[in-house]
Chains A and B, each alone.
Chain A
Amino acid sequence: MKLDIIGKRKIFFGISIVALVLVLIITIVVGPKLDIQFKGGSIATYTYTGDITPDEFGKTVESFLGQDVTVQKQENSVTGQTSMVVSLTSNKNLTTETQTGLLEELQTTYADNEIEASDINNVDPVMGMEFFKKCIVAVVFASVIMIVYIGFRFRKIGGASAGVVSVIALIHDVLIAYGVFVLLGFTINDNFIAVVLTILGYSINDTIVIYDRIRENKRYYGNKMELGELVNMSINQCLRRTVTTSLTTVMALICICVVAVMMNVSSILSFAVPMMVGVISGLYSSVFLSGSLWTLWQEKKAAKAAKA
């Protein structure tokens, strides 16, 4: 089996562009849901007696407020008083009317549990602008270092361009995973950061393995083989490895999803599902995008040099 990737590159570029446009549309139409860590909001505490699960309590609050909340069970270490801690994001602080309304709703729903509001704090985001600025610093730094390192190690095949292309492929994969996050309505929180970082790693790895093969083939064939053909051959030689690696990862993630569903810990899904999509996108971008993009760049450069 041999795929003609370089020859059909326009199709693959097209698929990626369509996918990215979809991500943009999803962002505008559905809109990302930011967690309290990013957006700030309120943390309200309700004391109760008896048994209530945080899940059902959360559903009651959600249906009243019409927004997602996180509920944690809390127990005072000294008095043993149990309470539910509700974290919700909001653009403005909770009004007194909403607070009273919610309390009444809770007291009627859980009539036997002696629910009382004990505390409401309106909090600033923990990871606000400062966190985002740091992310940008990290991303810029990592990109520069990657381009420099790849540029140096792959200097025989016009390294800097390879570095830039791998950064493009990486951003592509991260955006796709972000789109899935938003589409499925998962809240952007710590899990999201974990997913983005992991995909970043996978994406670079996939791309570098293919560059490595191009570098090796270039050594054997030099300029005897046409560039597009050489890149195509290299990608095909790596194909078994690329597919198997992605396959093992996807298998592991499916496994995590199944266990999470079986044990009813759905919060883990918001980690495993987008990651799975990210890994598949990484497979796609390394096979169909990075090699072709790089070839395109080299051909343009050669054409320019020929003109001059």
Chain B
Amino acid sequence: MKRVGKPVFFVVVAILALLTYAAFFGVSSKYGDIDRTYIKGADDIRWGIDIRGGVDVTFSPPEEVDATDEEMSAAESVIKTRLLNQNITDSEVYTDTNTDRIIVRFPWKSNEQDFNPEAAIEELGKTAQLAFYKDVPIDQTTGLLSANAGEPVLTGADVEKAEFVMQQDPTTGVSQPVVSLVLKDEAKEKWAEATKEQVGKQISIFMDDEVISAPTVDEEITDGRCVISGNFTAESAVELANQINGGALPFELVTQSYNAISPTLGMGAKDAMVKAGAAAFIIIALFMILYYRLPGFVASIALMGQLAGTIAAITGFFAVFPSFTLTVPGIAGIILGLGFGVDANIISAERIREEIRTGKGIDASIQSGFQNAFSAIFDSNITVVFIAIILMGVFGPSDSIFAIPFNFLFSWMGLGTATAGSVYSFGYTLLVSIILNFLMGVLSSRLMLRSLAGFKPFRKAWLYGGEK
């Protein structure tokens, strides 16, 4: 058997310690008054409404609009999609069809820096009506869409899919962010006709009455594709693509009231969760060390790494990634994931113990113990990975890769695509921690234990579960 070198243990521990430190405390620097976050710590976790409270916004259509029940439920589903697009995976959306009100609640805390609730609310209420016009029908006084512009050539409803892409300018060679559109089949002909007519002339693209781009048509477009370029940053291009994909509201939504709201689970839920988590972790680590000795010790380090990795996946870790909202179901996902981590280590430790007790040597026991344990760990973890993926697909945003197999089924069953995110967040945390389990509970435990076995003081069978 190939031995794992003695320094390996220290290398693995150092890597895990660094990861743990970074995931819990973050890395940031201070230049005078400016704080710059490079890596987000556990403080940057965005807790769900159930744990930390949030904002409660009541929307309603403008007074002159008498919305039908169908329009209200269409508006509700657009809002749900927009919430998910803004990475707000935890939200409650209630609709009162009698008074034409939509109540939206999402998590937020007052001193949160990287999330602006007013901007989010404004985004939710926007009509997001995309329209293409021949020439540029602008009202000279307001600078907005002219009242007598007539029927648009295309609207957002004709778009199959909008996507953010980087496009290289053929003359300057500079890449710039654009939004690329694929039109629905039935709209292709309309688009071909309009572009044929406008060769050498402009076609203007409006979003809620504001012109965002007015390119000159070079030639007829028959493949039903087009690109919106404007002064986009990568972020604003993604935002526009999301708005188009999310669909337009039947009317603008006006904010009726806007309040901060306390957690559903009651005050102190967050502190209780954190304290309970820390206490449970310590008890499990102690138990593992006392019961399984050396493999238990190694398991505790690996579990710490797994927990840190999961937290990193929730905060987004690097400052550029958005963080994920953590709710009670999300915490359940972490607990289950850690449960699988503990279990993987227990299965391995038990198998090593069995081998040691047949009188085999330490190295051979560790080797075949891990080997025998692997198929059970693999099969149970993979099955749960499938379940996590199914949950993310069924309950998550409809444009994620996990959702593709279900979209047909849902449109056939007449179900909307975006749903409440609580199950989605369970799927996400579970998937992440199971993947980490392969890395930590299986790979790093194995490396650490085999490396430790090379040290003289650790070459005693009882440390691995043998008789004393």
Residues of A within 8 A of B (CB): 37, 43, 54-55, 70, 72-78, 83, 85, 119, 121-124, 126-127, 130-131, 133-134, 137-138, 141-142, 145-146, 149-150, 153, 190-191, 193-195, 197-198, 200-202, 204-205, 208-209, 211-213, 215-216, 237, 240-241, 244-245, 248-249, 251-253, 255-256, 258-260, 263-268, 271, 275
Known: A153-B379, A201-B387, A267-B269. A248 touches B264 (CB 8 A): no
Contacts of B419 in A (CB 8 A): 127, 130-131, 134
Contacting pair A268 B386 (CB below 8 A): no
Known: A138-B395, A248-B284. A72 touches B53 (CB 8 A): yes
Residues of B within 8 A of A (CB): 50, 53, 55-56, 58, 92-99, 101, 103, 257-269, 271-273, 275-277, 279-281, 283-284, 287-288, 291, 327-329, 331-333, 335-336, 339-340, 342-343, 346-347, 350, 354, 372, 375-376, 379-380, 382-384, 386-387, 390-391, 394-395, 406, 409-410, 413, 415-416, 419-420, 422-423, 426, 430
Name which residue of chain B comes closest to A41, CB basis. Answer: B94
Contacts of B99 in A (CB 8 A): 121-122
- Docked complex Cα distance between A213 and B376 (Å): 8
Name which residue of chain B comes closest to A251, CB basis. Answer: B283
Contacts of A244 in B (CB 8 A): 291, 346, 350
Known: A77-B258, A130-B415. A208 touches B276 (CB 8 A): no
Known: A77-B258, A197-B329, A255-B276. A123 touches B269 (CB 8 A): no
Contacting pair B279 A245 (CB below 8 A): no
Contacting pair B259 A83 (CB below 8 A): yes
Contacting pair A268 B272 (CB below 8 A): yes
- Docked complex Cα distance between A42 and B274 (Å): 32
Contacts of B382 in A (CB 8 A): 149
20 contacts between A and B (CB under 8 A): A54-B262, A72-B261, A126-B92, A130-B415, A146-B386, A191-B329, A193-B422, A197-B391, A197-B426, A197-B430, A198-B332, A202-B339, A208-B383, A211-B379, A252-B284, A252-B335, A259-B279, A263-B275, A264-B268, A267-B266
Known: A251-B283, A252-B284. A122 touches B98 (CB 8 A): yes
Identify the interface centre among B58, B331, B347, B372: most chain A CB within 10 Å of its CB: B347
Known: A55-B266, A74-B260. A126 touches B272 (CB 8 A): no
Contacts of A208 in B (CB 8 A): 376, 379-380, 383
Contacting pair B346 A212 (CB below 8 A): no
- Lowest 9 A-B CB distances belong to which pairs? A212-B376, A194-B332, A252-B280, A259-B276, A123-B94, A194-B329, A73-B262, A208-B380, A267-B265
Contacts of B375 in A (CB 8 A): 212, 215-216
Contacting pair A142 B95 (CB below 8 A): no
Contacting pair A138 B276 (CB below 8 A): no
Contacting pair A145 B390 (CB below 8 A): yes
Identify the interface centre among B101, B291, B384: most chain A CB within 10 Å of its CB: B384
5 further contact pairs, Cβ within 8 A, besides A193-B329, A197-B336: A197-B329, A198-B335, A205-B339, A263-B271, A265-B266
- Docked complex Cα distance between A149 and B288 (Å): 31
- Docked complex Cα distance between A119 and B55 (Å): 17
Contacting pair B335 A268 (CB below 8 A): no
Contacting pair B390 A255 (CB below 8 A): no
- Docked complex Cα distance between A263 and B266 (Å): 11
Q: How far is the CB of A290 from chain B (nearest CB, A)?
A: 13
Contacts of B265 in A (CB 8 A): 265, 267-268
Identify the interface centre among A72, A78, A202: most chain B CB within 10 Å of its CB: A72
Contacting pair A202 B379 (CB below 8 A): no
Contacting pair B340 A201 (CB below 8 A): yes
Contacts of A142 in B (CB 8 A): 386-387, 390-391
Q: How far is the CB of B306 from chain A (nearest CB, A)?
A: 14
Contacts of B98 in A (CB 8 A): 122
Contacting pair B430 A85 (CB below 8 A): no
Contacting pair B50 A248 (CB below 8 A): no
Contacting pair A204 B92 (CB below 8 A): no
Main secondary structure of the interface of A (DSSP, over half): helix
Contacting pair B394 A134 (CB below 8 A): yes
Contacting pair B272 A263 (CB below 8 A): yes
Name which residue of chain A comes closest to B427, CB basis. Answer: A197
Name which residue of chain B comes closest to A241, CB basis. Answer: B350
Contacts of A153 in B (CB 8 A): 379
Contacts of A194 in B (CB 8 A): 328-329, 331-332, 422, 426
Contacts of A245 in B (CB 8 A): 339, 342-343, 346
- Docked complex Cα distance between A191 and B311 (Å): 21
Contacting pair B287 A150 (CB below 8 A): no
Contacts of A137 in B (CB 8 A): 394, 406, 409-410, 413
Name which residue of chain A comes closest to B93, CB basis. Answer: A126
Identify the interface centre among A77, A119, A134, A195: most chain B CB within 10 Å of its CB: A134
Which one of B259, B332, B410 contacts A76 once the chains associate, using CB atoms below 8 Å? B259
Contacting pair A121 B383 (CB below 8 A): no
- Docked complex Cα distance between A178 and B331 (Å): 19
Which one of A74, A131, A215, A256 contacts B259 once the chains associate, using CB atoms below 8 Å? A74
Q: How far is the CB of B75 from chain A (nearest CB, A)?
A: 13
Contacts of B409 in A (CB 8 A): 137
Name which residue of chain B comes closest to A243, CB basis. Answer: B346
Known: A248-B287, A263-B271. A191 touches B262 (CB 8 A): no
- Docked complex Cα distance between A201 and B433 (Å): 13
- Docked complex Cα distance between A146 and B257 (Å): 47
Contacting pair A251 B332 (CB below 8 A): no
- Docked complex Cα distance between A43 and B422 (Å): 21
- Docked complex Cα distance between A139 and B343 (Å): 24
- Docked complex Cα distance between A212 and B347 (Å): 12
Contacts of A249 in B (CB 8 A): 339, 342
Name which residue of chain A comes closest to B271, CB basis. Answer: A263
Which one of B275, B287, B343, B420 contacts A205 once the chains associate, using CB atoms below 8 Å? B343
Contacts of A195 in B (CB 8 A): 332
Which one of A78, A201, A209, A211 contacts B430 once the chains associate, using CB atoms below 8 Å? A201
Contacts of A126 in B (CB 8 A): 92-94, 420
